Amino acid sequence: MSGSLRPRASGWRRAATVVLAAGWTRPSPAAPPLPPLPPLPPLPAGGFRLLLLQRCQDQGFLPGAHVFPGGVQDAADRSADWLRLFAPHHGPPRFGLRPARPPPRPFPGLPDADGAAAAQPDDAAPAALPDDVAARVCAVREAFEEAGVLLLRPRGAPPAAREPARALPPPPGLDAWRERVRRDPRLFLSLCEQLDCTPDIWALHDWGGWLTPFTRPGGRRFDTSFFMCCLSEPPPVRPDGSEVVRCQWSSPSEATESFMKKEICLAPPQFYEIRRLANFTSLSDLHKVCLDGTSEGIEKWLPITFLTANAMVQLLPGDELYSEDSEYLENVMSSGKKIEDIMKESKTLHRLVLHSHHVFDIHVTIQSKHKHIYPKTFVVSKSRL
Ligand SMILES: CCCC(=O)SCCNC(=O)CCNC(=O)[C@H](O)C(C)(C)COP(=O)(O)OP(=O)(O)OC[C@H]1O[C@@H](n2cnc3c(N)ncnc32)[C@H](O)[C@@H]1OP(=O)(O)O
Ligand SMILES: [Mg+2]
């Protein structure tokens, strides 16, 4: 590894993840209904599937869980060496990306992610890549390392396409390159050079961000930017067989169903994002929101863990119990009451209720800010508890 950004004792590691949503024209396998869930509706024409990767069981974080491709930023992702690859067509300050959004309001007392350069103003000297470009390079590299998907664009090709993107077909020698990049992330730039491509940073749209909540002292914490990439069709996916052991393309309702049937494990942010994506019936609707929504602020959230007598709650900004008190950077809230009683007392809700590993409810009654699309309230039948 060239310079993985290691955590400070109290720091988050800066990370990036990309939700790959691919247009899907293949028939959906008939999923047998499982009472008391309603049967899955057929996937509408123009529907999409999301790429989920299963992490290996030996992972120190989220072992065995299904996640979107992603990982920790490496110093190589923001190297000034990228500047010559993006030149002469793209360069500082914005590399052809739309104007920078207002930065998300930080949680009081939140330390910067360790090792990450301070956010550069648009007129900063072009010493290295700006944060939002480096985060996209990281997500593209991780998608290649973990899934063998190359989100690259030939150098000089116009970036402002209104259509969903296409991954680059896998070139010969892909596996050998992948192994080299896994050992040394600096070599991702060499691969791009050899293919005369740049990371397709323009196909990665701001989607949100999650900071790992406090659950226990010493737990790993990530400051993860989420990007959305709409692909016209699913590219071939080859899990690396080490960090990632399996992959699947699932619609939001199929992923929800698999999770509830205990076929897959999801962490709260992934479950929440999958339910958010259930708002969209077609890839073109999703892609339109990605293209249109880019002038609005994007929200990055630090959930607060609230332990009740019989459930764990992840409180999100806007919920009436959410408190921007730096106390909760390193502590949980707790109550001896049962979740049912707490729910009866609450009206303004933005929370995930974790009844068990496979039974999560989402409650959202808050109004959307910045055109942000929230998931709909999703409550699992109590007979499943
Ligand atoms: C109760 C509520 C708790 C929560 O909410 S938890 C939710 C936390 N937040 C999120 O999930 C946000 C979204 N998550 C993500 O994007 C990613 O999962 C996240 C957090 C960035 C983690 O990225 P990683 O995949 O862990 O990072 P990475 O790809 O850079 O590093 C890979 C790590 O995997 C390790 N690894 C690779 N191959 C392995 C193998 N064969 N066996 C065991 N470990 C292996 C590798 O050493 C590295 O580990 P390390 O983290 O550097 O210690
Ligand atoms: Mg990873």
> In order along the chain (385 residues), what is the average pLDDT of each group of 10 residues?
42 93 72 44 75 97 97 97 93 86 71 51 60 96 98 84 89 94 98 96 94 91 96 96 96 96 97 97 93 69 96 97 93 97 96 97 90 92 68
Q: Is the CB of 67 under 6 A from ligand 1?
A: yes
State in Å: Cα 54 to ligand 1 middle.
Answer: 11
Closest CA to 222 of 288, 286, 160, 267: 267
Domain boundary assignment for the chain: 13-25+42-100+125-294, 303-384
State in Å: Cα 65 to ligand 1 middle.
Answer: 10
* Atom number in ligand 1 closest to CA 210: 12
* Atom number in ligand 1 closest to CA 68: 16
Q: Is the CB of 142 under 6 A from ligand 1?
A: yes
- Residue whose Cα lies nearest atom 27 of ligand 1: it is 71
Residue of 136, 226, 243 to mutate, ligand 1, most atoms within 8 A of C-beta: 243
State in Å: Cα 56 to ligand 2 middle.
Answer: 10
If you compute the radius of gyration of the chain from its CA atoms, what whole number of angstroms results? 20
- Residue whose Cα lies nearest atom 20 of ligand 1: it is 222
* Atom number in ligand 1 closest to CA 243: 38
- Residue whose Cα lies nearest atom 23 of ligand 1: it is 71
Report domain 13-25+42-100+125-294's class. Answer: alpha beta
State in Å: Cα 334 to ligand 1 middle.
Answer: 27
- Residue 41 has what pLDDT? 53
Cα separation, 324 vs 142, in Å, equals 32
Residue of 2, 20, 61, 301 to mutate, ligand 1, most atoms within 8 A of C-beta: 61
Inter-residue long-range contacts of 4-9, CB under 8 Å, 24+ positions, other chains counted: 4/72, 4/74, 4/75, 5/72, 5/73, 5/74, 5/75, 5/113, 5/114, 5/115, 5/116, 6/114, 6/115, 7/114, 7/220, 7/221, 8/111, 8/114
- Residue whose Cα lies nearest atom 5 of ligand 1: it is 268
- Residue whose Cα lies nearest atom 25 of ligand 1: it is 71
H-helix or E-strand containing 277? Answer: helix 268-277
